[in-house]
Amino acid sequence: MAQQQPTPEQIKELQEKIAKMSPEELKEFQKKQCIFCHIVAGKVQSRRVYEDEHTLAVLDINPANPGHILLLTKEHYSIMPQLPLEVLEHVFLVAKKLSNALLRAVDARGSNIMVANGVAAGQKAQHFIVHIIPRREKDGVVFELPQRQQNEDSLQQIANELAKSLGAPAPKKSAALLPDIMERIKETEHKDHQERKRKHERVPAKGADAPEKPSPAAPSGNKGEEKEKPPKKQPGGDINLDDIARLFGAKK
């Protein structure tokens, strides 16, 4: 992807040209420039690990970790908002599947799913990509999201703005509980830890009951479901997802 840096004049000229293009021309133009379209077309070599009607998954040549997958749409889209809804949904279902496969293929203990829309977000190529990065403890990859304190008024304003543009009612919120949320997380974690410890001592074997399907009609009234997480069916795998999920109670 090493390209010569264009001069400011060339950039300006190009920008003017782009501004005049019809959407179809613009798309065609971008496609021709796009390395990932060449990968999809097979003009550029890659290690393909999965392919279907809408997507292609290849191994990243500059991986954060061994097994780092780039999930591409076959059609050229620059950023996520351009994807038709069906393709978008499909893409992330494939991402789930790939993440699942990584657990076994590279013995991952977790994964990051990441999309960068726009240069400011770290996007490097003009083709919509979902990164699926297998993770393990102390693997040297650091993705840290800073926690920044924000004032209540501006939060309310942003919330209103977002809700409005999404067609949702303006969110109202009482400020009372905010500061002790972290406290509650800690408490909750502690309680869970104790509970899990007890549970582990009591029932070392896993339940053999079939996975329960959550009822879409009553999404929040599913009390029974959480009592004992049923083991997820694992086609040909020996890693239990619950073990990974269960680690949450085991930390600290």
Partner 1 sequence: MKKDSCLICQIVEGKIPSFRVYEGHRAVAILDVNGANPGHCFVIPKIHYPILEQVPDDDIAEAFSIANKLSVALFDHLGAEGTNIFVANGIPAGQTVAHFMVNVIPRRQNDGINLQWQPKQITEEEVATIELKLKDELAGTGVSHASRKAAARKSAPSVWTGAPRPSPAAWDGDEDPAVTHLRRIP
The residues in 16-45 that bind partner 1, with binding defined as CB under 8 A, are 18-19, 23, 26-27, 30
Query: Distance between CA atoms of 214 and 222, rounded to whole angstroms?
Result: 7
Output the smallest distance, CB 9 to partner 1, in A. 16
* Residue 165 within binding range of partner 1, rule CB under 8 A: yes
* Residue 174 within binding range of partner 1, rule CB under 8 A: yes
Output the smallest distance, CB 146 to partner 1, in A. 5
- What are 156's two structure tokens? 């309310």
Angle value at C-alpha 113, between 110 and 116, nearest 5 degrees: 150
Output the smallest distance, CB 222 to partner 1, in A. 6
* Distance separating the N- and C-terminal Cα atoms of the chain: 44
Binding to partner 1 (CB under 8 A) within 82-111 occurs at 82-94, 96-106, 108-111
* Residue 13 within binding range of partner 1, rule CB under 8 A: no
Query: Distance between CA atoms of 73 and 62, rounded to whole angstroms?
Result: 19
* Residue 185 within binding range of partner 1, rule CB under 8 A: yes
Binding to partner 1 (CB under 8 A) within 195-234 occurs at 195, 213-214, 216, 219-220, 222-223, 225-227, 232
CB 138 within 8 A of CB 159: no
Query: Distance between CA atoms of 132 and 129, rounded to whole angstroms?
Result: 10
